A and B are shown apart, each in its own frame.
Chain A
């Protein structure tokens, strides 16, 4: 039996998604005995990276808990699907970066946790160094009253 882990696959193979588009995929719990699993949380979320403290917000969240009578079978892949929001878009700035990901957290007995994460991109905002060049707009003079 190998090392316990979580794998996540996105339909469309992780291309850049557009706001409002449906993000769907599946996760698999590898080498995790069923009797060890207490709960599984699937989140589609964004978090910030960079100079500032991390901010995190969940767009979609599902929790399966063995204690609540949910059936968790590690042999079967779990599916998730959600329509993505219009914002915030993925962003690669200088001080601020916004990352989107699918995160699967498995809670095991004795307080252990296993985390699987699959990043994806929402929107196509260019990285700051690739930002469009400054362009002069022609000014129209309005005669002063």
Chain B
């Protein structure tokens, strides 16, 4: 059926997609406005800031002058007083005498800025009655300066319209490139553009197995018992650092409000609304601190967990060997190793981007209870890692993922429970069938 213009288009799964035409029109408007603002801003700022300085340095003619007087000119600004140095000079051009108040090109343009001491220091460099070099405009000798040069702050100011120009220009180019092209055609062009293969350690490329993540990181590290030592999903040091920063920032912000609330109490005017608001914030801050120390205890006290596998890439339905090692000085209540598959979806909700994960498969590989680990004698075990026949392979696209991993979960006397994940990449069996 022929399609007309629609604000909303068909429903896909849990979502309803917006009209592509409406989206494109909105994008086009946004980028066009950015581009025009950038162009206009660049022209205005270039004319106001760059050209005058350039003319003073390149076109103004050198002469000599006598300083007749000097002063600081004040002016009221929105955030306090503003100043500029002014020096009265006398000079002659082609037999004609001129007497003007000037300093640099910005004082000629009527600019003021804060910082009285700085302006006073500028004035102190010149003595009344002294003779100095000056530079005058040959097309209008009434315009002259005592100081010239280039100002560094001009370039950061130009960065603002330049950013708008680049964002708008790039957006307009992209919109023009995609205009009138179907999603399939754009995907085909993107595929052709991204045809550079990223070959992994085993010579497999993204192009050979589309949608399957590159597993080169898994084969980076050789094992001591089996062929490959699996990397841990998240470095404990990074996790701890992120937690520490989060706990510090959150509790720092809450502390400011706590102080305000305490001052109100001490002044005899308690703010009950603020107090009610602060209670859950304080509890959350306390929770972050407790969680940080819990993770710190697990990381420093439990000792490293190592997982090694005999083969990579892994194929659905094809078993391989797995080796697990847990070090430390621990009285272990239980230690479990599982093969886990998780789906992860990323979606936009309003202006936020959210992710949701769901564990869709778990196969226990190893379970041990009530044993002790001594320093220098880690717990070690080897078992078969049998990926289920017909299981879905690993998958990664921009917003959707299917991730396989080995999960080691432990419960140790005197320590909180812990869980460590080791990602693996699973390829489909050759036939793509349940075997």
Interface residues of A (CB under 8 A from B): 3-5, 18-19, 41, 43, 45-59, 61, 63, 85-89, 91, 93-98, 103, 105, 108, 112-115, 122-126, 128, 131-132, 134-145
CB-based contact B399/A144 at 8 Å: no
Shortest A51–chain B CB gap in Å is 4
CB-based contact B212/A135 at 8 Å: no
Q: Which residue of B15, B382, B402 is within 8 Å of A142 (Cβ)? A: B382
Q: Which residue of A54, A58, A144 is within 8 Å of B378 (Cβ)? A: A144
A55: chain B residues at CB < 8 Å are 397-400
Q: Which residue of A61, A113, A139 is within 8 Å of B185 (Cβ)? A: A61
Interface segment out of the listed B126-134, B170-178, B425-433: B425-433
Q: Known A48-B399, A54-B17; judge A93-B392 contact (CB<8 A).
A: yes
Residue of A at shortest CB range from B397?
Answer: A55
* Interface residue range, chain B: 35 or more
Q: Which residue of B15, B191, B212, B378 is within 8 Å of A88 (Cβ)? A: B212
Q: Which residue of B4, B211, B432 is within 8 Å of A18 (Cβ)? A: B432
Residue of A at shortest CB range from B17?
Answer: A54
CB-based contact B431/A91 at 8 Å: no
Judge whether B264 is part of the interface by a CB distance below 8 angstroms. no
A103: chain B residues at CB < 8 Å are 184
A54: chain B residues at CB < 8 Å are 12-13, 15, 17, 399
Shortest A118–chain B CB gap in Å is 14
Give 9 new A-B contacts, CB below 8 A, not counting A47-B12, A125-B391.
A4-B1, A45-B187, A52-B346, A54-B15, A87-B428, A88-B211, A96-B401, A135-B388, A137-B386
C-alpha spacing A108/B4, complex, angstroms: 12
CB-based contact B358/A94 at 8 Å: yes
CB-based contact A126/B363 at 8 Å: no
Judge whether B14 is part of the interface by a CB distance below 8 angstroms. yes
Q: Known A51-B13, A137-B384; judge A61-B184 contact (CB<8 A).
A: yes
CB-based contact B383/A139 at 8 Å: yes
C-alpha spacing A143/B358, complex, angstroms: 36
CB-based contact A145/B377 at 8 Å: yes
CB-based contact A87/B211 at 8 Å: yes
C-alpha spacing A46/B397, complex, angstroms: 11
CB-based contact B13/A57 at 8 Å: no
CB-based contact B393/A53 at 8 Å: no
B17: chain A residues at CB < 8 Å are 54
B191: chain A residues at CB < 8 Å are 57-58
Q: Which residue of B188, B210, B356, B428 is within 8 Å of A95 (Cβ)? A: B356
With most chain B CB atoms within 10 A of its CB, the pick from A5, A52, A103 is A52
B402: chain A residues at CB < 8 Å are 91, 93, 96
B345: chain A residues at CB < 8 Å are 50-52, 95-96
Judge whether B87 is part of the interface by a CB distance below 8 angstroms. no
Q: Which residue of B12, B182, B367, B392 is within 8 Å of A105 (Cβ)? A: B182
CB-based contact B397/A132 at 8 Å: no
CB-based contact A3/B210 at 8 Å: no
Shortest A42–chain B CB gap in Å is 9
CB-based contact A137/B12 at 8 Å: no
C-alpha spacing A4/B3, complex, angstroms: 11
Judge whether B58 is part of the interface by a CB distance below 8 angstroms. no
CB-based contact B347/A52 at 8 Å: yes
Residue of B at shortest CB range from A6?
Answer: B1
Residue pairs across A and B with Cβ atoms less than 8 A apart, 28 shown, are: A18-B431, A43-B187, A50-B345, A53-B400, A54-B13, A55-B399, A57-B211, A59-B210, A85-B210, A87-B209, A87-B428, A89-B393, A89-B428, A94-B358, A96-B344, A97-B13, A103-B184, A114-B3, A128-B360, A137-B365, A138-B383, A139-B366, A139-B367, A139-B382, A140-B381, A141-B382, A142-B225, A144-B379
C-alpha spacing A85/B402, complex, angstroms: 18
CB-based contact A53/B398 at 8 Å: yes
Residue of B at shortest CB range from A131?
Answer: B361
CB-based contact A53/B363 at 8 Å: no
C-alpha spacing A128/B15, complex, angstroms: 21
CB-based contact A53/B347 at 8 Å: yes
C-alpha spacing A25/B338, complex, angstroms: 44
CB-based contact A132/B389 at 8 Å: yes
A141: chain B residues at CB < 8 Å are 381-382
CB-based contact B433/A124 at 8 Å: yes
Judge whether B434 is part of the interface by a CB distance below 8 angstroms. yes
Judge whether B364 is part of the interface by a CB distance below 8 angstroms. yes
A135: chain B residues at CB < 8 Å are 363, 386, 388
Judge whether B55 is part of the interface by a CB distance below 8 angstroms. no
